[in-house]
Amino acid sequence: MRTTISFCALLGCLLVTGVAFSQDATDPPDDSSTATQNDAAETGNGESDDSSKVEEQEPASDEAGSDEPESELSPELTELRDRVRRCLAYYFYRPETTARRSPWGVMHTVVGFGVDTPLVTGNKQANAISWLCGNAPCNGMRLLYVEDGRLRLRMGPGYQGHEGQFLCILAQSRVKLDYPLWIGEHRLKVSDLVKHEQLTCESGTELTFKLIGISHYLDPDTTWENQHGEPWSIARLIKEELAQSVLDACCGGTHRMTGFSFAVKKRAKSGKPMTGQWYRAKRYVDDYCEYTFKLQNPDGSFSTNWFRGRANSGDIPRKFDTTGHTLEWLVFSLPKDQLTDPRVVKAVSFLTDLMWENRQREWEIGPKGHAVHALALYDEYVFGGKPGKRREQLAEYKVSQPTDEGDGQLVLSQSASVSP
């Protein structure tokens, strides 16, 4: 049996464990109470060194945000917006490099800024998604290959840390389904990657990242067969994931919860009834959102012991990791009218200040990507940030920033443009 290395799990082992408070908060939500409700509604139990293809087509988000917030911002939120965008601008204008980062590292760079993500490739700039989808080398490593006429993805250190991870990141970036993938002279599309993840669904395995990607790109009632001829559906993916532990999942369970949130939001957007597995997932997400606020620390950060209980470690990287991941999931999951709840505002303010005050720190690339994404999502949902226009929107917040010439990263000029 093949063993897959989980980078999130490895990172969690390396970080310092938080110091737990006495447990006076409620225990993590239990899904067992809804385990049998509405189950009847479930539908189904050759590479090339040529990297020129990365310039074929610039990625665009398939769901654009608004240019302006829906309502006028209060003075407090206006001040928070400016701090958030100043912080985002700092990290945006200091892109990662292909000489330094593996495909896994570049994928986590994309987590933060999605279709806007710049990437330094030698002495030029590229769009990070175009680079990955063109199968261009990252630290000498290529993520994709074709075998027996089928698209494949490499697993292990520097590549995917989880089955479905690349599709998940494209889904979170809202890359269009017909966006091209180039593997040598093979021209494929994101839709081919979706089919690959459908074919490789296996019961009893981690399906978190497949659930995020497949639920984003396909109709909620889609059914299919895996490579063994077994029936699958998005409802079955949800059921399989609900049967597994949140607390023992990678990154404290935040990605598993994101999978449920993705499925629920896509179901709601489709206008279809929230029954069966979607009903179970929605209850689970709602319960976990409320539970998470009970674990929030007085400074606005979230528990350094993930969802296991209250903890407030003084270890900065640990706090950065747990608060970034948790806030990312919360911002994505909460109704938009709850994103200005004082508890959310306090968490956003905490993370913004932590990232700004420690901006010259060498953050681990995984936690950094998720923390940046938390702020980018909040900027989009509350302040009117727009995927595809980050460079223009953040340019004015870059002007007065220090250059930090010693940080070893290229600081892009305000007028620099990302190659398509």
DSSP 280: H
Instruction: Please answer whether residues 110 and 171 qualify as being in contact, where contact means their C-beta atoms are separated by less than 8 angstroms.
Output: no
Each domain of the chain, given as residue ranges in start order, spans 47-407
What's the whole-number mean pLDDT along residues 196-225?
A: 98
* pLDDT number for residue 60: 73
What's the whole-number mean pLDDT along residues 367-376?
A: 99
Q: Is the pLDDT of residue 261 over 80?
A: yes
- The band of 63, judged by pLDDT with boundaries at 50, 70 and 90, is low
Percent of the chain with pLDDT over 90: 77
Q: For tokens 């990657």, what's the residue?
A: 193
Q: Which residues contact 203 (CB under 8 A, 6 or more apart)?
A: 230, 240
* 77-96 per-residue burial string, b: 16 or more CB within 10 A, e: under 16: beebbebbbbbbbbbbbbbb
Q: Is the pLDDT of residue 367 over 70?
A: yes
Q: Is the pLDDT of residue 262 over 90?
A: yes
Q: Is the pLDDT of residue 240 over 80?
A: yes
C-alpha–C-alpha distance, residues 353 and 27, integer Å: 30
Q: How many beta carbons lie within 10 A of that of residue 324, not counting itself? A: 28
- The band of 30, judged by pLDDT with boundaries at 50, 70 and 90, is low
| Better-predicted residue by pLDDT, 384 or 415 | 384
- Vertex 292 angle, CA 78 and 12, to 5°: 100
C-alpha–C-alpha distance, residues 67 and 18, integer Å: 39
* pLDDT number for residue 398: 87
| Better-predicted residue by pLDDT, 60 or 47 | 60
47-407 classified as CATH 1.50.10: yes
- CB-side neighbour CA atoms (13 Å) of 64: 8
* pLDDT number for residue 20: 28
- The band of 402, judged by pLDDT with boundaries at 50, 70 and 90, is low
* pLDDT number for residue 101: 98
Q: Is 87 helix (H, G, I), strand (E, B) or coil?
A: helix
Q: Is the pLDDT of residue 142 over 70?
A: yes
* pLDDT number for residue 53: 60
